[in-house]
């Protein structure tokens, strides 16, 4: 057939050449194998002939022995060649896999750096505006109220939101043309099955049912403790799932492999249900409906992405507003309240702790179990500093002094308490709010001056009351009361700061291989905790394992800290299709973890390892390129500022200044002579300046093995 094709001139030469080369390789391999088999057969045959000659007593044994030795030598030479070839192939394959692993790790580093940089930028931005609010002096009371309403949310405003959304869904009518799932409360397993089937068919739940479901979920969460306690007794098996991040297909696959939740099949979902993926609201609806149907079969922990400030950046807010354009703002407000009520942790059999992020040196489970978690609608915000402002007005003083004198005496004789300190703080804040619109002489007080102003205001009030009833020598007593009030005021702020740090640490922290506990500067929140911190924490609370999420892992899970910290991540293809597997872990009464891995993608099954790595690598480089090009105009402006003549060249003097600046930043001592010698060596054309081509040529990457 090959000759016929060549004769008719229709042969494709490259294809023909490849065809011949491939068949030549196959033929060579077959020939080598056949030759080796023939040699072995010849050796065996000659040995048999030699034995026959010896038995028969004829022939020359000397000739036959040399012939056998020569055959064996040929056989050994051929076997040695085969072994050498196998070693070369093995070495090449290991180098090939190692190169792919390096590419994969570099790709992983790019993705993680971009992800953590985004979280850090969001935290820095929020801290910046919080700083402005703390140091903001309003021109009028209305201005302060307006800005404070934007950046803060008081308990009163939260109660208003919860009260408004409690009945808002009753006024929403479902159109007759609506063909999606319909819910009625209390929910049943049939409703959950209908909801799952509708979401599989890409149907959308009506806004009325979303608001009603969120409202019922919030009422249920209000009765749950900060830390749930679950038991594996009676043969129960508990399944722990990590981050889902809007990956609805992963949740469906988990239920397909492991079954739906029930009292006998308990699920614990460890936070980060929303953001990044396209189906975050659907995941919330499924989990909340399961929570209401099986309150003893589903447990939900809060993650760092259950935070409306984070949702603004990473897509969940945008998703809700696009899917529910009419009722989107109401849904988001109610979701904020639901997120603030989510429990912070879960403990299995008093031995396994499940939290989203990690721990720190100061993490205390007893303290976490007692705090008011609903205060922290956003964990990025430290406790709002109480602003106390005081106006001296005659009418105000007369209002305070017009009360019953006997009551004033009784109040002054009572020792101060912590509650009294908070009441006084609230009293002054409310007094200022009521008088602010009538007075223009308002003075803004910073946090450091709070205790001083409170002490002075209380002193004036007590002295006025006691003067009217005839007690003149009351200085020492009032001074003692005021000092105690100052201490109690400081305790309020310290308590709030400690609460906030405890919550941030368990939601944002990551483990590290080194010992100790340091600030998590990469993410911008939480800390890095070492194996020594883990060991002390587990011993303190009599635990044996810490299960966390918060970090994407290539295999879906990873142990660290001597197998005492387990990271579980359930969102497969998190960065790109083929980037990672998802996993969930199952615990029985023996508390031995059993892992199930998966990857939701049919296309990756058909790709080779090299194709998967290349696909993810292209995506990472594209994301990095987009990140760099986002500041392209700023970089060009900076270059043009230094290159005023627009020559595209760098003088030796400019090069030396840049190197000195870089060395001071990196804390590396480089002499001016060394910098000058480097600049001269880079100036290939000896024109006294360095262009981009010379710079790139001087630092060209080379393979050291070739030198």
Q: Which residues, in sequence order, are bridge partners of residue 517? A: 529
For residues 281 and 319, the answer to whether their CB atoms sit within 8 Å is: yes
Q: What is the distance of C-alpha 357 from the center of its chain? A: 8
In this structure, the strands spanning 227-230 and 345-348 are parallel
DSSP secondary structure, 551-579, as one string: S--TTSEEEETTTTEEEEB--SSSSSTTS
Neighbours of 516 (CB within 10 A): 13
Distance CA 361, CA 536 (A): 9
Distance CA 363, CA 260 (A): 34
For residues 244 and 272, the answer to whether their CB atoms sit within 8 Å is: yes
Neighbours of 245 (CB within 10 A): 25
Which residue, chain included where needed, has tokens 């140091």?
135
DSSP secondary structure, 633-690, as one string: HHHHHHHHHH-TT--SEEEHHHHHHHHHHHHHHHT----HHHHHHHHHHH-TT-SSEE
Which 3 state secondary structure label does DSSP give 230?
Answer: strand
Helix, strand, coil shares of the chain, percent, nearest 5, are 60, 10, 35
For residues 454 and 489, the answer to whether their CB atoms sit within 8 Å is: yes
Distance CA 341, CA 221 (A): 6
Distance CA 288, CA 261 (A): 12
Residues tagged active-site: 305
Neighbours of 193 (CB within 10 A): 12
Distance CA 257, CA 23 (A): 45
Give the up-direction half-sphere exposure of residue 623: CA atoms within 13 A in the CB hemisphere. Answer: 18
For residues 350 and 542, the answer to whether their CB atoms sit within 8 Å is: yes
How many contiguous H segments (helices) and E segments (strands) does the chain have?
24, 16
For residues 443 and 390, the answer to whether their CB atoms sit within 8 Å is: yes
């Amino acid at each position: 057939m090959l000759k016929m094709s060549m004769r008719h001139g229709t042969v494709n030469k490259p294809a023909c050449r490849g065809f011949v080369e491939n068949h030549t390789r196959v033929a060579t391999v077959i020939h080598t194998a056949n030759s080796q088999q023939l040699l072995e057969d010849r050796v065996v045959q000659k040995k048999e002939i030699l034995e026959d000659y010896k038995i028969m007593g004829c022939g020359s044994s000397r000739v036959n022995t040399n012939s056998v030795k020569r055959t064996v030598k040929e056989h050994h030479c051929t076997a040695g060649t085969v072994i050498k070839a196998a070693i070369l192939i093995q070495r090449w394959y290991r180098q090939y896999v190692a190169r792919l692993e390096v590419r994969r790790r570099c790709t992983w580093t790019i993705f993680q750096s971009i992800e953590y940089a985004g979280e850090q930028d969001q935290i820095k931005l929020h801290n910046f505006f919080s700083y402005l609010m703390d140091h903001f002096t309003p021109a009028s009371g209305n201005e302060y109220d307006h800005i404070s309403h934007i950046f803060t949310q008081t308990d009163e405003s939260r109660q208003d939101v919860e009260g408004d959304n409690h009945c808002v869904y009753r006024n929403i009518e479902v159109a007759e043309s609506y063909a999606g799932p319909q819910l009625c409360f209390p929910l049943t397993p049939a409703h959950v099955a209908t909801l799952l089937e509708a979401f599989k068919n890409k149907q959308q739940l009506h806004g009325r049912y979303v608001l009603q479901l969120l409202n019922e979920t919030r009422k249920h969460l209000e009765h749950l403790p900060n830390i749930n306690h679950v038991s594996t007794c009676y043969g129960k098996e508990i399944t722990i799932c990590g981050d889902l991040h809007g990956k609805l297909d992963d949740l469906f696959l988990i239920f397909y492999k492991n079954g739906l939740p029930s009292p006998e099949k308990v699920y614990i979902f460890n936070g980060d249900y929303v953001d990044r993926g396209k189906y975050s609201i659907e995941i919330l609806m499924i989990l909340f409906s399961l929570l209401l149907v099986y309150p003893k079969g589903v447990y939900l922990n809060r993650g760092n992405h259950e935070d409306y400030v984070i949702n603004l950046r990473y897509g969940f807010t945008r998703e809700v507003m696009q899917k529910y354009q009419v009722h989107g703002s109401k849904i988001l407000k109610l979701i904020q309240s639901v997120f603030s009520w989510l429990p912070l942790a879960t403990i299995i059999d008093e031995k396994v702790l499940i939290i989203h992020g990690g721990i720190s040196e100061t993490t205390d489970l007893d303290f976490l179990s007692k705090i008011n978690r609903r205060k922290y609608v956003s964990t990025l915000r430290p406790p709002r500093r109480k602003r106390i402002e005081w106006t001296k007005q005659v009418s105000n003083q007369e209002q305070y002094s017009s009360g019953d004198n006997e009551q004033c005496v009784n109040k002054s004789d009572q020792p101060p308490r912590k509650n009294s300190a908070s009441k006084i703080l609230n009293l002054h804040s409310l007094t200022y709010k009521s008088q602010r619109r009538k007075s223009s002489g308002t003075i803004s007080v910073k946090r450091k001056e709070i205790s001083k102003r409170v002490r002075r205001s209380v002193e004036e009030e007590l002295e006025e009351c006691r003067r009217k009833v005839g007690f003149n020598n009351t200085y020492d007593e009032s001074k003692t009361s005021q000092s105690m009030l100052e201490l109690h005021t400081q305790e309020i702020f310290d308590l709030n700061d400690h609460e906030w740090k405890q919550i941030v640490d368990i939601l944002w922290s990551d483990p590290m291989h080194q010992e100790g506990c340091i600030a998590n500067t990469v993410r911008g929140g939480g800390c890095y905790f070492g194996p020594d911190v883990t060991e002390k924490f587990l011993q303190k609370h009599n635990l044996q394992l810490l299960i966390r999420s918060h970090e994407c892992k290539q295999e879906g899970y990873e142990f660290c800290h001597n197998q005492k910290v387990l990271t579980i991540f359930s969102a497969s293809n998190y960065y790109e299709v083929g980037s990672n597997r998802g996993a969930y872990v199952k615990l029985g009464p023996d508390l031995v973890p059993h892992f199930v891995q998966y990857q939701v993608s049919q296309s990756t099954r058909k790709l080779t390892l090299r194709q998967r790595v290349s696909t993810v690598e292209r995506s990472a480089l594209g994301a990095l390129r987009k990140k760099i090009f986002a500041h392209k105009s700023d970089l060009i402006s900076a270059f043009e500022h230094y290159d005023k003549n627009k020559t595209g060249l760098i003088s030796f003097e400019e090069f030396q200044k840049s190197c000195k600046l870089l060395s001071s930043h990196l804390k590396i001592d480089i002499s001016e002579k060394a910098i000058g010698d480097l600049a001269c060596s880079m100036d290939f054309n000896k024109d006294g300046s360095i262009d981009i081509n010379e710079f790139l040529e001087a630092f060209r990457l080379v393979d050291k093995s070739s030198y």
